[in-house]
């Protein structure tokens, strides 16, 4: 797009807008990391492990340095004039620099190893990690902070080949024992050639036993895939590559507890569970295939960190509380039904041997 007009120093030397914009574009990359987006306001908290997810271009919380003084000098000195559109564009670009992070985070900045540090290896300068399971130990890590509402996601490449008896878990947990809240992803290994199963579970005020199982419709060991949990005042939604596979609605009006008062940390583990994980424990781990490896990258947390401002979690202006996130869209609802019709293999809601009376949350819909 051509920009007309010219800008002048006090000395009267004209500088075309094209040259000024070229200078701006040469200097600005040192202060801004893509992708760019102009927010209405920055979110209360964001930690980004490696890079932004492709679907959400929200700004990071730590601002970039101020724009170069030379650019400010060019904008504010002189007696010349510049077209309004050019000024608007320049100020728009400079504003971006104050909201977009100048560098990505690394694993140890935002997470800590909770057990078996010898079994967790940092890769790519700390922007990715490898978890190891062998006969001596599994391993795990957790976020350094807890959060109340928001969105957490990670990309995982699961154990390839014969992974029967292994569990790779990614979950939120309030760490409050008998009254704990928890939102679980558990990836259950299988024999070579058989599908991976993802089990989700929801604990509210210490009550769990709400398992649902879905066979993944792709090979999660062939490449990285994104697993996310959206948690707001209206529902908790589990996503696989932006496809919703589970919705747990806030039905407190019907007397059903919903996790809304306890902040939760982000956890992940790789461990042995061959007493139940694959075909109810019939398939055991083949330790001749060990060690087993799972890989993580692009870990992203957006939410209200605790301790932090008490007003954050109740702020209706948080992006995850916006109307678009209070229920599934029509497209998401169709994908949700597709998963449940074609890939769900177990639902506690329909297990009459465990629940002769259908649990009340099962009739709430999405």
The phi, psi pair for 246, rounded to 5°, reads -155, 140
The tokens for 223 are: 């490449």
The phi, psi pair for 56, rounded to 5°, reads -130, 110
The number of C-alpha atoms within 13 Å of 189 and in the hemisphere containing its C-beta is: 32
- Three-class DSSP category at 103: coil
Is 182 part of the annotated catalytic residue set?
Answer: yes
Distance CA 108, CA 307 (A): 19
**Catalytic site residue from 11, 83, 182, 242:** 182
| Cis before 42? omega within 30 | no
The tokens for 101 are: 């992070």
Distance CA 122, CA 191 (A): 28
**Catalytic site residue from 83, 186, 283, 302:** 186
Is 211 part of the annotated catalytic residue set?
Answer: no
The tokens for 136 are: 């001596």
- In contact, 140 and 259? CB cutoff 8 Å: no
Which one-letter DSSP state was computed for residue 240? E
| CA-atom Rg of the chain in angstroms | 24
Please list the active-site residues. Answer: 182, 186
């Amino acid at each position: 797009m051509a920009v007309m007009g010219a800008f002048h120093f006090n000395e009267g030397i004209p500088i075309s807008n094209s040259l000024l914009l070229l200078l701006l574009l040469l200097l600005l990359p040192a202060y801004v990391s893509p992708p760019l987006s102009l927010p209405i306001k920055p979110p209360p908290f964001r930690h980004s492990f490696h890079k932004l997810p492709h679907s959400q271009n929200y700004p990071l919380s730590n601002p970039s340095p101020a724009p170069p003084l030379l650019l400010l000098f060019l904008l504010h000195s002189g007696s010349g004039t510049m077209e309004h559109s050019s000024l608007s564009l320049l100020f728009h670009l400079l504003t971006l620099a104050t909201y977009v992070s100048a560098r990505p985070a690394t694993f140890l900045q935002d997470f800590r190893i909770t057990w078996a540090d010898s079994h967790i290896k940092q890769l790519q300068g700390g922007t990715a990690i490898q978890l190891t399971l062998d006969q001596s130990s599994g391993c795990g890590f957790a976020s350094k902070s807890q959060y109340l509402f928001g969105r957490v996601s990670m990309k995982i490449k699961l154990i390839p080949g014969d992974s029967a008896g292994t569990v790779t878990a990614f979950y939120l947990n309030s760490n409050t024992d008998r009254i704990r809240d928890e939102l679980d992803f558990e990836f259950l290994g299988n024999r070579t050639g058989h599908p991976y199963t993802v089990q989700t579970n929801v604990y509210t005020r210490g009550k769990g036993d709400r398992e649902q199982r879905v066979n993944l419709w792709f090979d999660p060991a062939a490449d990285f895939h994104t697993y996310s949990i959206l948690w707001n005042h209206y529902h908790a939604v589990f996503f696989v590559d932006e496809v919703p596979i589970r919705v747990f609605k806030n039905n407190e009006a019907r007397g059903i507890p919903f996790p809304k008062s306890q902040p939760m940390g982000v956890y992940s583990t790789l461990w042995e569970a061959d007493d139940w994980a694959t075909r109810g424990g019939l398939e055991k781990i083949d330790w001749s295939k060990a060690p087993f490896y799972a890989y993580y990258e692009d870990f992203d947390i957006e939410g209200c960190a605790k301790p932090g401002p008490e007003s954050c979690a109740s702020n209706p202006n948080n992006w995850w509380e916006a109307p678009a996130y209070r229920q599934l869209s029509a497209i998401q609802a169709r994908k949700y039904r597709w998963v449940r019709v074609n890939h769900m293999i177990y639902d506690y809601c329909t297990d009459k041997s465990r629940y002769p009376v259908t649990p009340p949350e099962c009739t709430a819909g999405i």
